[in-house]
Amino acid sequence: MTTAAMAKTKSRGDYVRIVGLIFGGIVLLGIIYGYITNPVTTTAVLASTLRQSTPLVLGALCGLIGERSGIINIGIEGQMLMAAFIAFLANVYTGNLFVAVLAGLATGAVLGGFLAFMSVTLKMDQIIGGTVINILALGLTSFFYQTGLTTQGKLQAIALGPLAEIPLIGPVFFDNPPITYATLILVMVVHYVLFYTRWGLRTRAVGEHPSAADTVGINVYKMRYINVIIGGSIAGLAGAYLTLEAVGSFERAMTNGRGFVALAVMIFGKYTPFGAWGAALLFGFAVALQTQLQFSGRLEIPHQFIGMLPYVLTIVVLAGFVGRTRVPAAVGKPYEKE
């Protein structure tokens, strides 16, 4: 490769970074302007952004942990839904929110194990495997859900003392219920593990070039199983969030496509935790902003078009970014020891 070509590749990356920085700057200015003119609304929009983005971040983390190890997870939606339902049931029957959250985590993990079983052991097409989980989740939750079950309350916000008093940033970041906090911490933890530890190195190797890992004695199958199960529990946390923190009850098909939007978030975030976080915030912001404008009567759009927004945004993101992201090279292919 000639040096001229190398320079060209580098400058393309710089170009994207510059555009991103400018865009981020505009958003920041907009927020500051909004806060000066209307602090209550702006704070509300930002808080809503964080809330909307939480399940997306968690779903994206689930997806990227799996993909980094080489497994495509299309079943995040099903994992979220099932976990939401089980967490809801646990809350109804035990009244203990902590137990309910654990139930959600466990459900996600079990479904993750199921996906791993289909993908790694049965060597099924991973997209079909994920679809099976989605269909199973929809069917089982619809079948077993009876209306009229009441929950025993939901998870409340915990203000972090004086930090919550800081204008604008305070109420948005430091006055949140536990799962929202957990999400922020998870982003950092996953980033650290993936890029700074032995486990992360091996995971990435298994996703890029599994036979290279195999020949140095790493158990590719075990790595993939564990990663997908951990990812599943994170998706389970997202499900628990929906019923225990966000809404407080269950509704048929309540995930509403978030699991798939999370995939777009993952791709947009270039399969990195912080990238996913930023991308999810962007999605959440778009939805929160649109809803706010609708309520304030500034926009005369039929509500169905507001409803379409996250899905249209997902397509736009995919169309614009999927070709340009470097995917782990061995993703989607079952590993066969020769």
Select the residue interacting with another protein from 214, 251, 292, 294 (CB under 8 A).
214
Q: Of 89, 99, 103, 86, which Cα lies nearest the Cα of 149? A: 89
**Residues in 314-333 that interact with another protein by CB under 8 A:** 314-315, 318-320, 322-323, 326, 329
Is 308 an interacting residue with respect to another protein (CB under 8 A)? yes
Select the residue interacting with another protein from 135, 169, 189, 299 (CB under 8 A).
135
The span from the CA of 164 to the CA of 172, in Å, is 8
Is 299 an interacting residue with respect to another protein (CB under 8 A)? no
The span from the CA of 74 to the CA of 263, in Å, is 8
Question: What is the smallest separation between the CB atom of 3 and another protein, expressed in angstroms?
Answer: 11
Is 237 an interacting residue with respect to another protein (CB under 8 A)? no
Is 291 an interacting residue with respect to another protein (CB under 8 A)? no
Span interacting with another protein, options 53-61, 104-112, 156-164, 258-266, rule CB under 8 A:
258-266
The span from the CA of 58 to the CA of 153, in Å, is 23
Is 153 an interacting residue with respect to another protein (CB under 8 A)? no
Is 7 an interacting residue with respect to another protein (CB under 8 A)? no
Is 122 an interacting residue with respect to another protein (CB under 8 A)? yes
Select the residue interacting with another protein from 38, 94, 152, 197 (CB under 8 A).
197
Is 311 an interacting residue with respect to another protein (CB under 8 A)? yes
Question: What is the smallest separation between the CB atom of 251 and another protein, expressed in angstroms?
Answer: 14
Longest dimension (CA), the chain: 69
Residue-wise burial string across 198-220, b where 16 or more C-beta atoms lie within 10 A, e elsewhere: eebebbbbbbbebeebbeeebeb
The residues, ordered by sequence, that sit 6+ positions from 171 with a Cβ below 8 Å of its Cβ are 43, 47, 164
Q: Are 217 and 45 in contact (CB under 8 A)?
A: no
The residue type of 29 is L
Is 127 an interacting residue with respect to another protein (CB under 8 A)? yes
How many residues form the binding site for another protein (CB under 8 A)? 67
Helix (H) or strand (E) holding 185: helix 178-196
**Residues in 13-72 that interact with another protein by CB under 8 A:** none
Select the residue interacting with another protein from 124, 157, 158, 286 (CB under 8 A).
124
Is 260 an interacting residue with respect to another protein (CB under 8 A)? yes
The span from the CA of 50 to the CA of 180, in Å, is 8
Select the residue interacting with another protein from 7, 17, 307, 333 (CB under 8 A).
307
Is 249 an interacting residue with respect to another protein (CB under 8 A)? no
The span from the CA of 114 to the CA of 107, in Å, is 11
The span from the CA of 215 to the CA of 212, in Å, is 5
Residue-wise burial string across 82-105, b where 16 or more C-beta atoms lie within 10 A, e elsewhere: bbbbbbbbbbeeeeebeebbbbbb
Span interacting with another protein, options 15-23, 56-64, 281-289, 304-312, rule CB under 8 A:
304-312
Q: Are 213 and 206 in contact (CB under 8 A)?
A: yes
Question: What is the smallest separation between the CB atom of 82 and another protein, expressed in angstroms?
Answer: 12
Using CB under 8 A, list all residues that contact another protein.
Answer: 1-2, 5, 8-9, 74, 118, 122-125, 127-129, 131-132, 134-136, 138-140, 142-144, 196-199, 201-202, 204-205, 208-209, 211-218, 256-257, 260-261, 263-264, 302, 304-305, 307-308, 311-312, 314-315, 318-320, 322-323, 326, 329, 337-338
